[in-house]
A and B are shown apart, each in its own frame.
Chain A
Amino acid sequence: MSSQHQSGAPLGVGILGAGPVTQAIHLPSLARLTDILEVRHIMDVDPAVAESVAGRVGARFSTSVEELLADPGVDIVAICSPHQFHAAQVIASCRAGKKAVLCEKPFAMTGEEAAGISAVSAETGVPIIVGAMHTFDPGWLAAEAAWGDLPEQVHTIRSSIVLPPNPRFEDFATEIVGRVPMPEQDLSDPEVIKARLQGGVMGLAIHDLPLVRRFTPDFASVEVLHAEIAQPFGYVISLRAGAVSIELRAAMNGTWEPSWVFEAIGDDAALRIDFTPSYVHAGSAAAQIRKDGQTLFLGPYGHNGYEGEWRKLAELARGTGQPPSAETLIHDLEFALSIADAADGLVDAAGATVAEEVSA
């Protein structure tokens, strides 16, 4: 059970898992919000990492989920552990009577797990946010408020991501301890290719898939038409959901110049959003809506989607604001899982590269 919260005092935050995401994303984000949020407890299975990371922010540390959840100073729990622990830890946090839960994506690994989480959230009344930071980016939110009937006419969606490897930005966001190096992999091995596609969809494309789904009413019918990996890490994935074509591109190469563009295009209107890279606090996305020969520019604004997530959590924990519906979270997850699984299925069916002719 969390503490009786006094209005105006900062809410207490506890974080499960103190790896690079916690160190490079959440702690720097929370350091910008000390008037409303305070890190009080850090848990990691590696006691040295837990102690080191907690020490940066003057928080308590532990190696036990139960100990953190029993801490009365923790109002909001952020779950930043490996994916396979997410579902159980979200449920445990809800049952511990916390005021709000942030779960890093994906918040479950199966639709059944997601439904179980939804049921517990409904039963306990604890709001849950999934760490899909682009959906909390002020640039995206401004575009959503301004695009009018665009979603009804969109027939083509593109997500194009070019990023340097994560450590480049992690190292500019903080000083990392306990980083685990990437193992060498044989990229001709179908199992490695499948793992790379899973990782690409569930670790990178997943940032934009909730945005994609906003423009695909027939998301449940999504088909993966083509899936291929790029070296050293990346993908070329083609999807179709109803009448909407969806193209996902990503390359994590050695570039110093990141680019993260989301586009939704209809017959006579189009949205383009340029997101700032992950980790660093480089402000919000900038959006352009083109229609009738005119372009509406929105943003950039002063904070990014990570900070947006925490602002939303603070609202929810104070009993204000509306959480995303459980249905939205479940559908976002099912959409991502179905794409990742179908991409792997293509590898199983025909090796590293697969395409099928589709004419509509």
Chain B
Amino acid sequence: MSAQLSLYADPQAEAAGAVAAVAASLPLSFAPAPAQGPAPDVVAVAGHTGWTQRAAGAIRGGARGVVVTSPVPEDAGQLTAQASESGATVVLDQRWAGNAVLAGPSANVQDVIADALRDAVLVDSVAVAAPGTDPLQLLTEQLSAVLHAGIELRNVRMVQRSANGYTVAATLPGGAPTALQGILTSSLPATASISVLTSAGRADIVLPEPAAAWPAEVRVVNAEGAMTLPTLYESAHRTSWSRAHSHITSGNPANDLGQFTAAMSLLTQLTD
């Protein structure tokens, strides 16, 4: 039986990350913290502006870990230092980067993408979100997903931005052209896709939004045929909380803030 951790979510964190529903699906791992008593083991933090300060505050208050849902672009430097000093875990529950195929132990998926990237001729990624979404938040989430897929972007340039989305151009280290597009519409599912076209085929990932436990889709085409990789019916929210439990109880550090900082670096290049 795994060690049960106490958790606390304020109303904003609960709304952002459906924390109660997720905790109910991990009843041996988490239990609500009592209203009176010691600091909760894990604190859920909503990712709106100021999340790095709120997360650092929770760690200073004694939390062994925090789970941040949908973090907006923000400098995470001080939080990284605070977490390191306190030995606390910070897990970022991002809607696409947090999916099990990217954040979980899916070595097959990572290998498939790495193989495709070695032979890439063009990378095309499309992120879809509802109208009203902040395009910069959408771009942050898309960049995080792309980086979690192991794609190293160079020479990033903003090609166009409007109220309806954006287009970013970049190159892979080997020079292959890469495009990231964000589209705001309510007519399509809020997915992020990453397509790596190779000299003889392709590899595609389609990441669902975490509102339900839709599985990601991972498919590879090469000279031998086409293969769909196994994926999980698990929302990114649940994957993130499972990871938080695993990191806290095992003592293995999470690198979520490091990857978020890498995405912020790209975002800064695009918006400065």
Contact = CB atoms under 8 A, between A and B. Distances in A.
A105 B114 CA distance: 40
Contacts of B184: 267
B202 A360 contact: no
B118 interface: no
Q: Is the contact region of chain B dominated by helix, strand, or loop, or is it mixed?
A: strand
- Range, interface on chain B: 35 or more
A21 interface: no
A256 B198 CA distance: 12
B253 interface: no
Interface in B174-225: 176-177, 179, 181, 183-188, 197-202, 221, 223
Given A268-B185, A270-B188, A243 B200 contact: no
Interface string A134-173: 0000000000000000000001101010100000000000
B124 to A, nearest CB: 5
Interface string B117-148: 00001101010000100000000000000000
B185 A225 contact: no
B188 A265 contact: yes
Contacts of A359: 160-162
B30 to A, nearest CB: 34
A158 B167 CA distance: 12
A303 interface: no
A255 B200 contact: yes
- Range, interface on chain A: 35 or more
B53 to A, nearest CB: 30
B157 interface: yes
Given A162-B197, A257-B221, A265-B185, A226 B169 contact: yes
Q: Is the contact region of chain A dominated by helix, strand, or loop, or is it mixed?
A: strand
Contacts of B158: 355, 357
A324 B228 CA distance: 44
B28 interface: no
A270 B164 CA distance: 14
A245 B188 contact: no
B203 to A, nearest CB: 12
B179 A253 contact: no
A249 B160 contact: no
A267 B185 contact: yes
A242 to B, nearest CB: 11
A238 B159 contact: yes
A229 B161 CA distance: 22
A257 B201 contact: yes
Contacts of A257: 201-202, 221, 226
A251 B197 contact: yes
A245 B176 contact: no
Contacts of B160: 225, 238, 240, 245, 358-360
A142 B211 CA distance: 34
Contact of A251 (B121, B155, B221): B121
Nearest to A228: B177
Of residues B160, B167, B185, which shows the largest number of chain A Cβ atoms within 10 Å of its Cβ? B160
Contact of A230 (B161, B164, B176): B176
Given A236-B122, A290-B188, A358-B160, A156 B200 contact: no
Contacts of B187: 265-270, 290-291
B165 interface: yes
Given A225-B159, A226-B169, A231 B121 contact: yes
Given A236-B169, A238-B167, A255 B159 contact: no
Contacts of A160: 124
B43 to A, nearest CB: 36
Interface string A171-192: 0000000000000000000000
B162 A360 contact: yes
Of residues B176, B186, B198, B202, which shows the largest number of chain A Cβ atoms within 10 Å of its Cβ? B186
* For the complex of A and B, 9 pairs with smallest distance between CB atoms: A270-B187, A355-B157, A254-B200, A155-B164, A360-B162, A230-B122, A226-B159, A358-B160, A251-B197
Given A230-B122, A234-B121, A238-B167, 12 more contacts: A230-B176, A231-B176, A234-B197, A236-B124, A243-B164, A254-B223, A255-B201, A257-B201, A267-B186, A355-B158, A355-B159, A360-B162
Interface of B: 121-122, 124, 126, 131, 155, 157-165, 167, 169, 171, 176-177, 179, 181, 183-188, 197-202, 221, 223, 226
11 contacts: A156-B164, A156-B185, A225-B167, A229-B177, A231-B176, A232-B121, A245-B167, A249-B122, A253-B201, A268-B186, A269-B187
